[in-house]
Chain A
Amino acid sequence: DAGVIQSPRHEVTEMGQEVTLRCKPISGHDYLFWYRQTMMRGLELLIYFNNNVPIDDSGMPEDRFSAKMPNASFSTLKIQPSEPRDSAVYFCASSYSSGAFFGQGTRLTVV
């Protein structure tokens, strides 16, 4: 298995633009997590899914953030409109029961 695959690896966008981050979890994993990592706040859980259903989105910072998991092999995290304070590394992770495996992350820069 290729592991958790995220795209793009790097994204630079202008403030106000829509940004979509993509994630392909490991096949057979039933949990999917979206994390954000910054120097100031460390690793923050944004949202997680179980069997494609969102379980807890209490970490999503604002209504500008939304996440979907239309099927077991794909998830998106969308920011609309983006702001400079959204600049961070966004990680997707997937898990089967427990012990999550992380993707390489998407480094988002909003200018």
Chain B
Amino acid sequence: AQSVTQPDIHITVSEGASLELRCNYSYGATPYLFWYVQSPGQGLQLLLKYFSGDTLVQGIKGFEAEFKRSQSSFNLRKPSVHWSDAAEYFCAVGPGNYGQNFVFGPGTRLSVLP
């Protein structure tokens, strides 16, 4: 069965500092991987996605993520965090073109110090 883990429940960084949020997955085939962000009281917004090709993908709001098959990881990064990045971040797997369910990780809450 497919699963997604996000080892960090809560991360606090200072504004301007770099950020890396970890995501590990378990999946039987080539994964379709996603990162979503959820601000308080809002729905989930797609930050970026990986299907194939270049393992470093760029997303919105200055975020990027790197797919590492050998480590079953898809970590999210940002070189300089802004106060407005404080939110909950979810890593997810699927669905592929053959219609598997989305599986979300438990989320990582990001706090940003001024």
A contact face: mostly helix, strand, loop, or mixed: strand
B43 to chain A, nearest CB (A): 4
A59 CB contacts on chain B under 8 angstroms: 101
How many residues belonging to B are interface residues under a CB distance threshold of 8 Å? 22
Contacts known (A42-B106, A43-B90); A102 close to B44, Cβ less than 8 A: yes
CB contact list, B51-106 vs A, under 8 A: 51, 90, 94-97, 99, 101-104, 106
A56 interface residue per 8 A CB criterion: yes
Check if A48 sits within 8 Å of B32, measured CB to CB: no
When the two chains form their complex, are residues B46 and A100 in contact, meaning their CB atoms are under 8 A apart? yes
Q: Which of A12-20, A70-78, A91-99 contacts B (4 or more CB under 8 A)?
A: A91-99
Q: What is the bound-complex CA distance between A26 and B107, given in angstroms?
A: 25
Q: Is B18 an interface residue (CB 8 A)?
A: no
Q: Which residue of B lies closest to A103 (CB)?
A: B43
| A98/B106 contact (C-beta < 8 A), A45-B101, A104-B42 known | no
**CB closest residue in chain B, given A6:** B43
Majority SS at the chain B contact face: loop
Residues of A contacting B14 in the complex (Cβ-Cβ under 8 angstroms): none
A45–B101 CA distance with the chains assembled, in angstroms? 8
How many A-B contacts are there with CB distance less than 8 Å? Answer: 47
Task: Choose from A42, A99, A101, A104 the contact partner of B104 (Cβ within 8 Å).
Answer: A42
Which chain B residues lie closer than 8 Å to A101 at the CB level?
46
Q: Which of B43, B44, B51, B104 contacts A98 (CB 8 A)?
A: B51
Q: Which residues of B contact A93 (CB under 8 A)?
A: 44, 102
In Å, the complex CA distance between A59 and B51 comes to: 25
In the bound complex, what is the Cα–Cα distance between A33 and B10 (angstroms)?
27
Whether A98 touches B46, Cβ cut-off 8 Å, given contacts A42-B106, A45-B102, is: no
Q: Can you list 22 A-B pairs, Cβ within 8 angstroms, ordered by A?
A: A31-B99, A33-B102, A42-B107, A43-B104, A43-B107, A45-B103, A50-B99, A91-B43, A93-B44, A95-B95, A98-B49, A98-B51, A98-B94, A99-B34, A99-B46, A100-B34, A100-B46, A100-B102, A102-B43, A102-B44, A103-B43, A105-B42
